Amino acid sequence: MQTVEVFRAPAFRLALAFCFAVSAATAAAFGVIYLQVSNADVQRVSAVLVDEAAKSEGDSDEQLRRALELRLTRDIRRLDYVALFDASGAKIFGDVPAVPSIPVDGAAHIVRQQLLPDSSGFEPALFVARQRPDGAVVLFGRSLREVYDLQATLLTVLAIALLPTVLVILAIGAFFARRASMRFERIHSAILRIMNGELHSRLPVGREGDDVEKVARAVNLMLDEIERLLDQLKSVGDNIAHDLRTPLMIARAKIARALDEETDAEILRPILNAAVSQIDRASVAIAAILRVSAVENGALGNRFTDFDLGAVCAEVVDFYEPLAQSKSIEMTVDVRGPAPMRGDVDLMREAVSNLVDNAIKFTPEGGTVRVEAETIDGLPRLAVSDTGRGIPPQDRARVFRRFFRGDGDDVPGHGLGLNIAQTIANLHGFQLTVEDNNPGARFVMAPMAKASLGLVRAAE
């Protein structure tokens, strides 16, 4: 990865912003310390000098002179200034040649350029000048060299501390920027492979646990579902081709044979009727496929009203009872009170019809088909059970797929009825499952979890 890309990475820019913030905060903290230390020292020295000047006002000239000499003697670091001037301004005693250009008011004043006692240079100092009763002026001063040195030290410490901090933050930012850029580069490469047809590829995930990883995991789950649907679509395509090709080939063969060998219209009629029957079979398969597509796309799911699911079940049982009687199958309906729900009554009638038709189709003579409808916790529930051959456990997860037909399934059909029923159930916020009826199968249509049901109802 190029260095320019690292510097352009959001992580590096975030580190740069953090670096500026830390630098500003550090400089502000040092500035406060700088001002506090400087002002505190100046105020402390000012208070001492003003107090000493005030106390000296009542001393005699001799006492004052001894006090000033003692002050200079004890000044090992040569920081103090003292002097005594007569009324005319002539120096009587001290290490200051003349009164500085400050008011003689007993207050502290800063002199930026004060000549050193040995005349070797200048330095900042703080002075207090006070006039005595005889007109003489006493002067007390203190060098501010140490205060200014401390200020310079603070500035040096700030520069020394801030520069490595900035460099460390930038280094850390560059490290995480490079790491994030490499991570996104791996994700981008995986996306390109997927776009080029490698649907088995997945986005790389680690153990970071951040938002990027959550998105990558969600995308991988989506890719798993897409791959599963594509595999299912391939299987559906094969099944569609098989279900349509067989009746069309039979119809073509019969018509071609009739055209080649027969000329009598009465002889041609049964042959043509058989060909029409095969074409109708293909048409039924096409209509069923279009019906599934229409239900899935919601084209028929926008006419939601309130109705009684129990009444729909009773109506469907009444319609299929003659068919069940023709196969010597006993049909019963158990509606335990009203089962109100909201949805498309025509679609729900079709779903129940597909379940009942499927039960009759796979139930042998003398068997039983039972339809139940009830309300549990204020939500409707439907169950259709039979005493037929049942569904093996390994096929229960696949029985709702399009065109699925179990091994040894010799009953005519296209394998779309249960898929349509499941699609309609999902459209209404229900989940269709299959259980063992001992013997036979039991299909249960019950409400989904509350979260899923809310999403379905919001889509209405």
Q: What is the pLDDT of residues 226-258, one digit of tens each?
A: 887 777 666 555 555 655 666 677 777 777 777
Number of other residues whose CB lies within 10 A of the CB of residue 367 = 20
CATH number for the domain that contains residue 290: 1.10.287.130
In a domain, 335, yes or no: yes
pLDDT tens for residues 360-386?
988 999 999 999 999 988 889 999 999
Establish if 38 belongs to a structural domain.
Answer: no
Same-domain check for residues 265 and 346: no
171-195 core/surface letters (b: 16 or more CB in 10 A; e: else): eebbebbbebbebeeebeebeeebe
* Structural domain harbouring 244: 211-296
Q: Are residues 220 and 285 in the same domain?
A: yes
Count of structural domains within the chain: 2
pLDDT confidence band for 165 (50 / 70 / 90): confident
CA 408 to chain CA mean position, Å: 49
Same domain assignment for residues 309 and 287: no
Residue range 437-449, pLDDT digits in tens: 888 999 999 998 6
Tell whether pTM > 0.75: no
Question: Is the pLDDT reported for residue 458 higher than 50?
Answer: no
Tell whether 36 is covered by a domain.
no
Across 63-101, b (16+ Cβ under 10 Å) vs e yields ebbeebeeeeeeeeeeebbbbbbeeeeebebbbbeeebe
Same domain, 432 and 356: yes
Same domain as 280, residue 253: yes
